[in-house]
Amino acid sequence: MLKIDSHQHFWKYDPIKAPWITEDMAVLKRDYLPPELGLILKANGFDGCVVVQSDQSEQENDFQRFNAEEYDFVKGIVGWVDLLSSNVEERLKYYSQFKKLKGFRHVLQDELQRDFMLRPDFLNGISLLNKYHFTYDILINSDQLGFAKELVARFPEQRFVIDHIAKPSIKDKSISKWRDEMTAISKYKNVFCKISGMVTETRWKLWSTDEFDPYIDVVVEAFGIDRVMFGSDWPVCTLSASYEEVYGIVNSYFSRYSDEEQQKVFGRNAIEFYSLSE
């Protein structure tokens, strides 16, 4: 069974394409490419990864496809397509020829319209994904969980995964409302959850391992061991923690679980969700 990091990024740094990288994120203002991650994955016992879009353009898909073709450890790509477009089906049909392109994502967390995902044109785009066997990564902040629940309820056959446990404010120990809404959305069996992105939702570099446990508890209790997967969110995680530290947090938590259950979290569930080739 392959050990898979279900969520990471590659980019050639361009301040025009990445305005989200602000002055306090200086560590991210450089290129992050496969050779660097390949060494990190190997050092931590991982066999492969899923690269996720960080630029909302079709050029991003070409860039990540090149990376995946050049480096076998890149097992899958979550790209970007204009789900609002009238020709979205034509684009999905085109992208369906690329074996490693597994799904798509939109940066919903940055939309001023918090229920952007419920726009009729967006819903139309989502409605076509399953026809072409594409997954959808839900990138939201915790205030959008209610809208996300409405989204997934409309498409019971579509495979969805929540990125970064929906970004609760771990720094503020905010958990109650997020817990209730995560429990509610988990009732839809077509929804998975990535245990990722936690270290950047608390005090950067000032966190303690035990502050994440209550949040992982909620996710595992809600989704069960068959619908959760580890993601490093490298290199974004380096704002607050090294790759080894991020992996250590989640690995330590699941160390009390059986070998089979750990294999699900660190590989099998991601392989199943994204239909990755071993």
| Cα–Cα distance, 60 to 33 (Å, whole number) | 13
| Cα–Cα distance, 39 to 46 (Å, whole number) | 10
Give the model's pLDDT for residue 68.
98
Per the CB < 8 A criterion, the answer to whether 21 and 28 are in contact is yes
Q: What is the pTM of this model?
A: 0.97
Give the model's pLDDT for residue 248.
98
Q: In which residue ranges of the chain is pLDDT below 50?
A: none
Domain architecture of the chain: domains with CATH: 4-274 (3.20.20.140)
Condensed to tens digits (0 to 9), the pLDDT of residues 53-102 reads 999 999 999 999 999 999 999 999 999 999 999 999 999 999 999 999 99
Identify which of 143, 233, 135 has the alpha carbon closest to the alpha carbon of residue 191: 135
Identify which of 93, 58, 111 has the alpha carbon closest to the alpha carbon of residue 122: 111
Give the model's pLDDT for residue 1.
84
Q: What is the dihedral of CA 171, 176, 265, 192, to 10 degrees?
A: -120
3-state helix, strand, coil split of the chain in percent (to 5) is 50, 15, 35
